[in-house]
A and B are shown apart, each in its own frame.
Chain A
Amino acid sequence: MSADEHRLRSGRPRGRWSGRVFYAFLLLSLAIGFATLGALLVQVVAEGYKWVDAVLFLEPPSANPKIAGAEPAILATIYLGVLLLAFTIPLGLGTAIYLEEYADRNRWYNRLLEVNIQNLAAVPSIVYGILGLAFLVRGLGLGRVLLAGAMILTLLVLPTVIIAAREAIRGVPDSIRQGAYALGATKWQVVWRQVLPAATPGIATGSILALSRGLGETAPLLLVGALTYVAFNPTPLGEFTALPVQIFQWVARPQDEFRVLAAAGIIVLLGILLTLNAFAIWLRNRYQRRW
């Protein structure tokens, strides 16, 4: 009998062992990644959970760790988030709609625009910080205020939002547009009444993911003026700090208790970000369209 038949009868197919080794390697990679992350998380939570209490949320920071809280930082992070959404969604959506529905791909400036957006997503965040310092804080004379922080975060996450929105818009099949045009709709009616509603789940998911990335950034905020010690609640045109910055400040203090406080802050920050991400994933699964 042939070699294949022999293998069939003996129950020992080709590549049995190499298949198993490969599978084991995959599992190992997964395990290393998860184990490391898990270890970090466990360490932080174990250290800080006792201090995640009302004081943390409601009191301003102070030199005394026992009464120090992160209320200004948490509030600032929330304000930053709201401003971020308010800025990025119109800008990002508008750009995406222009590029997908209106731009003529053959024109040089549109191609330039597309290439640049891909590149901007890769720029390190500290560069955005320097940009913000030079143009917003000093150039426009805004000063080291919350608004400047929000604006710079907007620039940081904008490429991501544009890319996500474009994917969502591209995901709407052309047959829908054709059907709408054939009924006598104008271009604007097609975009506003068919394309955007159909692309909304994708756009929402992309925006939330961008938001969560923006809220976790520290470097650009530091450069734009997030102070490390702020004892008052923030206003848009006032000085501010943010949760990542606050954590950074606490870690730098000599007392051990501040490290615990920092861990508590990390738990809060992680909580916010993980909740946002989970919400984005739930949104995507719930409204995912099968065309």
Chain B
Amino acid sequence: MRMSFQEELDRLQANLHEEADLVLRSLRGALNALQQRDIELADEVIAFDDEVDDRYLAIGQGIEQLLARQTPVAVDLRLVLAVLHINLGLERMADLCVTISKLTKLTVELEHDTTLVEAFEEMGSRAEEMIRVAMTSFAHRDLAGAESLVDLDELIDRANRRVVNHVLELGTDPEIREWGLRMIIVSRCLERVGDHAVDIGEQTAYLVTGEFREFTDASHPEDA
């Protein structure tokens, strides 16, 4: 029953997962460019954002069409709204990758600290893992998987705080201080990717339970 409607829903989700794959490639590219100080790779990542934007617009149109023509209710409605939010989050993540690449280009000539660069690789891998977990939990409607993202995010948050402390101890050389400041922004970008992944988890929880709640609240950390 309502085969064409079901096909449209499936297609929408398939597009979303493709978008997530593109975001992962973007992130991997940005991390590698950062590690290897590769300007060309950084430029590729920046150009690649167009593809993500394409998907983002297409999915947005798809959602609009689905809502106008099929008037989904109940679980179908929650699914469409979840796709809407996740779509936004993925596009933001891709923009963050672009920012990282731009910063890579800006700092390529500057002196750098290898420890920090390695730390970013670890943070980046964690972020990649979070995106995968978030999308898989969404695909399987896995509430527990979605909730596990909170703990993973905590690790990135701690790593972010350590980066800040490390930069403060970098020394007085102006070049390395400039590099350090820029890298704080890179760290912040990776931390934001983690936050967006948690948002995806919250959407999965909404889809499954019908309740919208934040997993953690930044203004009330003691409740976490």
Q: Do chains A and B touch in the complex (CB under 8 A)?
A: no
A binding-site residues for B, Cβ under 8 Å: none
B binding-site residues for A, Cβ under 8 Å: none
